[in-house]
């Protein structure tokens, strides 16, 4: 498929796909006229990339981790594996932090609800 279709099916912009390729995260074959062509598997690949980006990994980090995805074998450099574990831990810590922030928001919301309830006793009837 060409880049436009891949973009639609993976839910990203054409610009992003070119950027991923530039970063070495996505391969494409070129037609004689220079247009990019992708196999079906590229859709899942891009979705995977999106998920890693969503996890806060940078292009560089994703690039260093991808070998574990593409060739999960012992010849995969150990550093790639360690980096993946490190990113998992970082992500866990980040999630914990966000949970704390959400708890704080919940408390603020509850406080505000109480104040409003005090002044507007059962406004819905």
Binding positions for a copy of itself, rule: CB under 8 A: 48, 51-52, 54-56, 68-69, 72-74, 76, 81, 84-85, 87-88, 91-92, 94-95, 97-102, 104-106, 108-109, 111-112, 115-116, 119-120
Question: What radius of gyration do the chain's Cα atoms show?
Answer: 22
77 binds, among DNA, a copy of itself, none (CB under 5 to 8 A by kind): none
| Strand blocks (E) in the chain | 29-30, 36-37
The reply on whether position 59 binds DNA by CB under 7 A is: yes
Q: In degrees to the nearest 10, what's the CA dihedral of 30, 71, 6, 3?
A: -20
Longest dimension (CA), the chain: 73
**Which residue, 27 or 117, has its beta carbon nearer to DNA?**
27
């Amino acid at each position: 498929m060409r880049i436009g279709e891949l973009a639609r099916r993976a839910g990203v912009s054409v610009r992003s796909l070119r950027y991923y390729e530039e970063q070495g995260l996505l391969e494409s074959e070129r037609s004689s006229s220079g247009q990019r062509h992708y196999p079906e598997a590229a859709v899942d690949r891009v979705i995977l990339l999106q998920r890693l980006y969503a996890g806060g990994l940078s292009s560089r980090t994703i690039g260093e981790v991808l070998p574990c995805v593409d060739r999960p074998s012992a010849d995969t450099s150990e550093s790639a594996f360690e980096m993946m574990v490190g990113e998992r831990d970082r992500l866990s810590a980040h999630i914990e932090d966000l949970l704390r922030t959400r708890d704080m928001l919940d408390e603020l919301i509850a406080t505000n609800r109480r104040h409003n309830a005090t002044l507007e006793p059962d406004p819905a009837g």
